[in-house]
Structure 1
């Protein structure tokens, strides 16, 4: 069959026109100026790749003459039982394709709505302020860890996210924090420290504006994460140490690295399997029965091993 004959068949024309109309409809109704449509298209391409890879592997594994599908269907068509078995085989293949494509087609739905909206902003700040980040997609994972109780929670990737108690307030996607003593005086104010350190970049960020300035929130998150990681730049696990420092302070991480160095078979240059097992933070329950130590260890584990995977494809096209 010639290529022209193939592409002008009713089936090919229907698939092409249908795909084009679906893409145009998605683009026209896209609330994020094409971003969500691009994610959906990328997810479909991943599905096509998976099907193609499966097809090639099947051909390699079943490369003997008796398994030639064209001959099998020709033989099956000569009798009713064989034809029925052939139809069953086609149905199984169709179900397999649907199982591959269905999750791929909705891959963009796995991202929080705020991530679709704000990831380009986060990536822009990262490229400007931390262009040599070895794994910049981890910043998206960090936002989720800081702001998302669940992927559908109101605060997830929401600049208006607020965690407030009598003694503490955490603001926005990076949970910029200020804490108070029992007498009401300020114990520490991360926002004020940031503004003092980065006046040119964050001078407009105040406690009266923080919830209305997502641009400054993401900028602050990149700067805080960068500064924490750079304190450990000589270590192979600088990013892991930096994340632990983002959550609990770099000074505490350094003390834990020293404790690791004094322990048998512990390498202070690595987090997982080494420094992570030498927590010096409080083990008194704070939130939901979890201690400061539990929260800190969970933070690094989630950012690096639990949350990041869903953002890989989206980050690459943002």
Structure 2
């Protein structure tokens, strides 16, 4: 009898462990994006990003590349701000206003984006971090750079790397890399990784207010975006 009672108790304990494990797995599945530990305000605003992609760039691939780039820019913090002596950046996409040595504005990203998309007509520096403008502008700007890179690069991964580098350092910077690469034996101007990322038109001196030189930042930027993509693969399918 004692042996039977002990067997029953052990059986019930095993069932409890099984049920607890099953419940844990169910809760993790239901948690979805939260289980992936998405950064900052990503869980709240990824649906808005999905909406902007559906409206302006439905065939982008891989879709996880776009939120990964936003993470690289701002860690998905709505009010992320960059301030140095030479520029002011704000919001998810860190759109910037740059200044010359005399403090005069030499570049205004918001003005550039308003000219590209009528839907951004109301965007101003007074509300530069406004999420719906930021997300729309990121999609529009990346789509533009993707189209600029398509004739230059061999395949989609290299196109996305090229577009990310343009987003970070400007189209002119990538064009200089392509020209420089074309003059170097063994360098393929249609490939970013291992080729264009080794060409560097920007300053190699550490920039004031930054941990690296602009050369290093721009060269490493596409790979850093790629490294952030896996956590968005499921969410952005």
Conserved in 1, the CA contact under 8 Å of 2:70 and 2:93?
Answer: yes
Summarize deviations over 1:121-148 as a string: whole Å, max 9, x none: 1122112111121212101110111013
Distance in 2, matches of 1:310 and 1:262, equals 38
1:160 Cα deviation from its structure 2 partner:
1.1
Higher relative contact order (CA 8 A, sep 6+): 2
Distance in 1, matches of 2:145 and 2:162, equals 8
1:302 to 217, 224, 229: 224
* Equivalent residue, structure 2, for 1:209: 127
Normalised to the residue count of structure 2, the TM-score between the two structures is: 0.83
1:169 Cα deviation from its structure 2 partner:
0.5
Distance in 1, matches of 2:162 and 2:185, equals 20
Distance in 2, matches of 1:126 and 1:254, equals 27
Distance in 1, matches of 2:43 and 2:56, equals 21
* Equivalent residue, structure 1, for 2:6: none
In the alignment, does 2:50 pair up with 1:123?
A: yes
Distance in 1, matches of 2:220 and 2:116, equals 29
2:81 to 148, 162, 170: 162
Conserved in 1, the CA contact under 8 Å of 2:64 and 2:230?
Answer: no
Runs of 4+ in 1 over 4 A off after TM superposition: none
Bigger Rg, which one:
1
Summarize deviations over 1:134-168 as a string: whole Å, max 9, x none: 212101110111013xxxxxxxx122111112331
1:314 Cα deviation from its structure 2 partner:
2.4
Distance in 2, matches of 1:260 and 1:232, equals 15
Distance in 2, matches of 1:208 and 1:275, equals 38
* Equivalent residue, structure 2, for 1:137: 64
SS in 1 for 2:126: coil
Summarize deviations over 1:171-193 as a string: whole Å, max 9, x none: 10100000112222111101111
Gaps of 5+ in 1: 1-8, 27-35, 41-105, 149-156
1:197 Cα deviation from its structure 2 partner:
2.4
CA RMSD of aligned residues (A): 2.6
* Equivalent residue, structure 2, for 1:114: 41
Conserved in 1, the CA contact under 8 Å of 2:165 and 2:222?
Answer: yes
Conserved in 1, the CA contact under 8 Å of 2:197 and 2:220?
Answer: no
1:281 Cα deviation from its structure 2 partner:
1.2
1:15 Cα deviation from its structure 2 partner:
3.2
How many residues were matched structurally? 219
In the alignment, does 2:110 pair up with 1:191?
A: yes
By percentage of residues, which structure has more helix? Answer: 1
Normalised to the residue count of structure 1, the TM-score between the two structures is: 0.63
